[in-house]
Amino acid sequence: MSEELNIHTHGPIGHISLKRPKALHALNLDMSVAIAEALLSWRENPDIMGVMIDHAEGRGFCAGGDVVSIRQSVLEDGGRHGREFFFAEYRLTHLLFTYPKPILTFMDGVTMGGGVGLALPARYRVATEKTLFAMPEGDIGLFPDIGSGWTLPRLPGRIGIFLALTGARLDGAECLWAGLATHYLPSDRLAEMKASLTANPGTAAQLLKHYSAEPPAARLATNAEKIDHLFASNKLEDIIAALEKDPSEWAAKELQTILRKSPQSSKVALRLLAEGPSRKDFADEMEVEYRLAARSIMRPDFAEGVRAVLVDKDNQPAWSPARPEDVDEELLDSLFAPLPENERWSPFPALL
């Protein structure tokens, strides 16, 4: 059992609370393994009717994965620990996605990267006025993962592509509008909602409806038409050119955001999201994303991106390749290629 989690039951409700506040509850290997073990034990337990996932304290639900330790793994053990982390995290994400009992996640605060992987597979996803949702992996030489290739292309229009390329930060109202959240609750009603659920475990949908509030207008909606137009292509160079031609301040801001990110990461994201709708199932998606993660952490951009953002914090990464046009199809093909049979990702055996 990880000391960075509270795992317990309230009668028929399993309850998992992230408890790593100094790191905004970022997931590490031990946490991923412990959460999965709890879910697997409750999965076949007839006394457990559903699961709640939240955070115990602090301002973040989950800020992502512990990428600093993964960078250390790349530098010290050839990425072995990093690959173990992604293998376990993706097994957890797949377990959540296929879970037969209702899971309710509370995205109350920072919800990024690995936190998105805990939230989006759940049947019920609660946003609040404190929600801050983003997929900023392009800043550190990675790509939107933990099922993003499956979920983001299924958002309205080109919203998913916009989120993947820009790492845009959404509030709770925008998450609800985009379909990332299923409900919007005031944060001061969450405790009452949780208590009601444990007392009435079979009524999650009714309780969520009862406690839900009307959210503010979603700012993202006002730019949806523009996003659909400017992000219409699956080619990074085309999107950059479209933004360059648009005279609006909004387009200029998004252009600069994209240009600051790893070109390799952006092109991986575009291809992943373009191919996502054709995956046969979520396990297939996870298998492809694991190929990308296992290889991407060994590429120069990952160690350099984490250095620039989280280690030295100079925010001056030197990407390699540095230009979008230098990230060619041969490089992308090598990242997406199947792994050797003994290195491939697979779900928990019980879920095969």
Spatial distance between the Cα atoms of 217 and 199, rounded to a whole number of angstroms: 33
Is 192 noted as a catalytic residue in this protein? no
The one catalytic residue among 4, 89, 137, 254: 137
246 is catalytic: no
Annotated active-site residue in 89, 108, 139, 145: 145
Active site residue 228: no
Could you say which of 65, 82, 160, 305 is catalytic? 65
Distance CA 89, CA 41 (A): 17
Given 114, 147, 167, 172, the catalytic residue: 114
With helix as H, strand as E and coil as C, how does the chain read? Answer: CCCCEEEEEECCEEEEEECCHHHCCCECHHHHHHHHHHHHHHHCCCCCCEEEEEECCCCEEECCECHHHHHHHHHHHCCHHHHHHHHHHHHHHHHHHCCCCCEEEEECCEEECHHHHHHCCCCEEEECCCCEEECCHHHHCCCCCCCHHHHHHHCCCCHHHHHHHHCCCECHHHHHHHCCCCEECCHHHHHHHHHHHHHCCCCHHHHHHHHCCCCCCCHHHHCHHHHHHHCCCCCHHHHHHHHHHCCCHHHHHHHHHHHHCCHHHHHHHHHHHHHHHHCCCHHHHHHHHHHHHHHHCCCHHHHHHHHHHHHCCCCCCCCCCCCHHHCCHHHHHHHHCCCCHHHCCCCCHHHC
Active site residue 115: no
Sign of the CA dihedral running 151, 153, 156, 161: positive
Contacts of residue 195, defined as CB under 8 A and 6 or more positions apart, other chains included, come to none
Residues carrying an active site annotation:
65, 114, 137, 145
